[in-house]
Structure 1
Amino acid sequence: MRFKDKFSRITLRISLIVMVVLSIILSAIIWGSDARFSRIEETSNQTQTKDLGQRSLRDIYLPTQTFYFKDKQMYQVYDTKNNLPLEFSKLTQSVKPLLPIRVWSSQSKYEKLLKNPNYVQLTYPDQITISLFLTNVRKADSREFNRFFVPARSSKYIYLGNDENYTIYRVRLSDVSFDNLVEHIQSAKTQMPVTLQKVHDDYLPFYDKNLSLPTYSYLTKEESDSYFVYRLLGSNNPTQHSSGESITYSNGVYERLIAAKHTHNYEYIDYQQDQVPKTISRKLNDSLYFVRKIGLSEPDLRFFDADNNTVIYQNYVEEYPIFLPGKYKMRAQVKFASNGMTINFNSLDLQIPIPTSGEKKTLIPTNEAMDELYQKGYHQKDIERIVIGYTAKSDNSKNKKLVDLEPTYYVKINKQWKTLDEWLNINNQVVNSGKEGLVDGL
């Protein structure tokens, strides 16, 4: 028995030694092959990042309004159960069409298609490029459009329309059915009768009757200056200088971040980014890259507006943009210039919707709003856009982290976005073509 016990102890000890040695050898092999494993991990991360980037790009460049005809009347629709633009985006994400074909460029034919009840329509707030929608076409395809015409009955074609120049592009599809999407559009809970009227470069929905829209309340979150300093200027101890109502953080002579002391507004300037992208596709892609660099929350972030070398992104509630407090009102605005790139952004992040009593606010018909502008001296050619948007208002008497969202008309004149009341209350305003008026703005 003693011999057997002794033999067992020796065998166990030898086994343990072999296991330890084997473990050391395997560890050496693994650590010695670190470069190989790093490459595998890097490749995996790159693939994931690329995929996430494509999805995020497609989600941010998402249509924001949906229309269809019933009994010869056009309706703008919204459904709380089905995100209609997102449903359309998912249906077309893997589409592999033939190259888009230009069909015609005629105002009369374009307006006839706008009134065709056999199509539902989805629109972007401003023109984007074909290559942003059809990711498998040439990236250099900078032909622009802002409206989809989707057949209400089965068809092998959809059409992309550009309101500005009345151009239609036909896209041939394969193995895509819009039947469920059309059914969801036709049965959407919120349906508002509208007519389309040309304002500057776009056909915009005009509401013929008083419109009653809900108000909302949200708890908010705001990142500190240090968060944006680290993301934009790095961790190399940037200098800071306080002046008046702002603090300026600098990273050498090439980058600076200006933070307003008592608002949520920031301005970031990078003098090294001194090349203006040559194509609209590049501007849209590059601007989104820099917005992501800031580190803003993206769940409800959407492309909103583009002018020359400026691209604007807004948060949305339902199908309406949210205009934030402060001078710029925008969630993020990227401006490219030969002397440097500037980003104005707002750090206020809407987090949690608060249940309300169901309060609503009534807006006048759109034509009445336009008439008020004309009576104040504004010319039709100077009004670039009129949309419904939500104004974010802080009520510190309740909770400094609570904001109320109230619907109102927002009007774009001379590339500046203001509420209808703000434009009407500007004293001695003279807005003729080519004149700025007595206002500060973007």
Structure 2
Amino acid sequence: MNQIVDRVIKVSLVIMILISLLLSYKIWTKPANRSLSDKGKASSEEVLHTKKMTEVYVPTKLFYHQGKDDYVYSNKESTILDVNNKLSAFEFRNGKEIGSKKIEEALYTSDSFNLFFPEAFPLATYEEVYEMSLNIPSKMSDFVFNRIIFSLDKEKVYFVNHELNQGVEYDVSGDTQSIKHLLEDTKRNNYLPVSLTPDNVAGIYYLKEEVKLKTYSYIVATQSFTTFTKAFFNQPNDLYSNESDNLNVFNGEGESLTIQSSTGEVNYFGKLKTSKNAKGNNIYFDTFQYVENLGSTLGTLRFFDAKEGDIIYRNYIEGFPVFGKNMKGRLEVGVQNKNVFVRTNQETIQVPIPSDETVTLIPTAELMGNLAVAGVDLSLIDDAQISYEWQANLETKQVVDLVPTWYIKYQDNWYPASALIEQGGAK
């Protein structure tokens, strides 16, 4: 009798699981050729925590000059955000343009630090995002920067461009001591020794030693198409779909959303939303609206790259960017003639799975040597970045592996260092 009861329970559980999977499939895949109108009010579960620009337009690397030729690196997100937020609250005075000579002097100063943004963007945008009063010199109104140098000793801040040939210098006053305390907390920041010389490729700080990093595994969630229609569409109600292999949702206003069934890649097209930016059109504010409305759905997104009207936002894990195929770990927003194109992927990483596996990455100088030997033109390299590569898990599709990997920005595009070495730079 007990065996019969056990069998009934097991069969019932299997049936319940199958029904659950079937319902999930119906929700996440294409609806039939019909109206998708939802005129009811959003429930509390559907309300997203919208992101702030100060959570996305942030520096991602910190280099602390403890003394002469004694430089260390940290990507500790909490420290970098705290330092940047404290610095943005300072009083800035006497802004003036500086050239390469003054920048080089500031660059090698002891008792200072550098904050790096992944890509250059306008100083005026930084001022507006952080609600600062910089009084940018008039002839520098369009100046773009990707590095902040702060001399703790002289209490001067330098906003510097990638080429290290132009910047804006300020006298500042604020809580310098609290920043010093953050920087001197070596246990919190897990510093790695680095070197900086005029011979370094693209002005990159070189890691002196090999670094051992954990490989992470994450459970993957497949986001419903409604996540994207609510975040991207100007008119998210009265939607319709076409019968096809891929999900294709649209409305009468010319907006459309397509999800590729084979890859999960999401493509949206529509009219650009009216920006909340009071100072007029700004690609950084315009594109951020599509990040803001997704909230935490795609995890920790950071401003990562900008090119020809496109802004790229990328997932960050443990302070490192994530690279994956088919737009995984990435949100790209392009603006053209008041139209907007958004690309991402419906697969998102959710819950980390404990792992003891590690990967050892070689020092930067050795990496550059390997690239040169392979025939890569080092003068075409703009940056080098430790990253996490999104890889399929061999055991289950519900889990992905994030593997530490050197990535190189070569001719304005990012590649795994191994791919560049294999191709000899022929990209």
Normalising by structure 1, report the TM-score.
0.72
Structure 2: distance between partners of 1:94 and 1:70: 23
Match of 1:377 in 2: 375
Structure 2: distance between partners of 1:74 and 1:313: 29
* Alpha carbons of structure 1 residues 414 and 78: separation in structure 2 relative to 1, 3 Å: closer
Tell me how far 1:156 sits from its aligned partner. 4.4
Please list every run of 5 or more consecutive structure 2 residues that lacks an aligned counterpart in the other structure: 1-47
One-letter code aligned to 1:104: I
Is 2:381 the counterpart of 1:387? no
Secondary structure at 2:238's aligned position in 1? coil
Tell me how far 1:295 sits from its aligned partner. 5.2
* Contact 1:199 1:383 (8 Å CA) reproduced: no
> Which of 76, 79, 86 lines up with 2:81 in the alignment?
86
One-letter code aligned to 1:242: S
Tell me how far 1:241 sits from its aligned partner. 4.7
Structure 1: distance between partners of 2:106 and 2:240: 56
Match of 2:60 in 1: 64
* Alpha carbons of structure 1 residues 198 and 386: separation in structure 2 relative to 1, 3 Å: farther
Structure 1: distance between partners of 2:412 and 2:269: 21
Tell me how far 1:363 sits from its aligned partner. 1.1
Please list every run of 5 or more consecutive structure 1 residues that lacks an aligned counterpart in the other structure: 1-48, 432-436, 438-442
Match of 2:151 in 1: 151
* Contact 1:58 1:133 (8 Å CA) reproduced: no
* Contact 2:298 2:348 (8 Å CA) reproduced: no
> Which of 161, 183, 202 lines up with 1:185 in the alignment?
183
Residue by residue, what CA displacement relative to the aligned partner does 1:321-357 show, whole Å, maximum 9, x if unpaired?
1123x23355211122348422111233333333222
Secondary structure at 2:326's aligned position in 1? coil
* Alpha carbons of structure 1 residues 201 and 57: separation in structure 2 relative to 1, 3 Å: farther
Match of 1:112 in 2: 105
- Matches for 1:32-51 after TM superposition, within 5 Å: none
- Matches for 1:27-426 after TM superposition, within 5 Å: 56-71=52-67, 72-79=69-76, 83-98=78-93, 101-106=95-100, 108-134=101-127, 135-137=131-133, 141-153=141-153, 155-174=154-173, 176-189=174-187, 190-196=190-196, 203-233=203-233, 234-243=236-245, 246-252=246-252, 254-270=254-270, 282-294=282-294, 297=297, 300-324=300-324, 326-338=325-337, 340-357=339-356, 359-395=357-393, 397-398=395-396, 400-426=397-423
* Contact 1:102 1:167 (8 Å CA) reproduced: no
* Alpha carbons of structure 1 residues 295 and 258: separation in structure 2 relative to 1, 3 Å: farther
Secondary structure at 1:62's aligned position in 2? coil
One-letter code aligned to 1:240: N
**Greater RCO between the two (CA within 8 Å, min separation 6)?**
2
One-letter code aligned to 1:105: G
* Contact 1:163 1:201 (8 Å CA) reproduced: no
How many residue pairs match? The answer is 366
Structure 1: distance between partners of 2:281 and 2:109: 30
Residue by residue, what CA displacement relative to the aligned partner does 1:4-63 show, whole Å, maximum 9, x if unpaired?
xxxxxxxxxxxxxxxxxxxxxxxxxxxxxxxxxxxxxxxxxxxxx9xx97x811121111
Match of 2:29 in 1: none
Residue by residue, what CA displacement relative to the aligned partner does 1:355-386 show, whole Å, maximum 9, x if unpaired?
222x3211122233233333443323332322
Structure 1: distance between partners of 2:97 and 2:72: 27
One-letter code aligned to 1:335: G
Tell me how far 1:198 sits from its aligned partner. 7.5
Tell me how far 1:318 sits from its aligned partner. 2.5
One-letter code aligned to 1:379: D
* Contact 2:329 2:348 (8 Å CA) reproduced: no
One-letter code aligned to 1:291: V
* Contact 2:216 2:353 (8 Å CA) reproduced: yes
Structure 2: distance between partners of 1:117 and 1:144: 25
* Alpha carbons of structure 1 residues 90 and 208: separation in structure 2 relative to 1, 3 Å: closer
Residue by residue, what CA displacement relative to the aligned partner does 1:296-327 show, whole Å, maximum 9, x if unpaired?
53652111111232211112122211123x23
One-letter code aligned to 2:92: P
Tell me how far 1:119 sits from its aligned partner. 0.8
Tell me how far 1:200 sits from its aligned partner. 11
- Whose Rg is larger? 1
Tell me how far 1:102 sits from its aligned partner. 2.2
* Alpha carbons of structure 1 residues 197 and 220: separation in structure 2 relative to 1, 3 Å: farther
Secondary structure at 2:282's aligned position in 1? helix
Match of 1:40 in 2: none
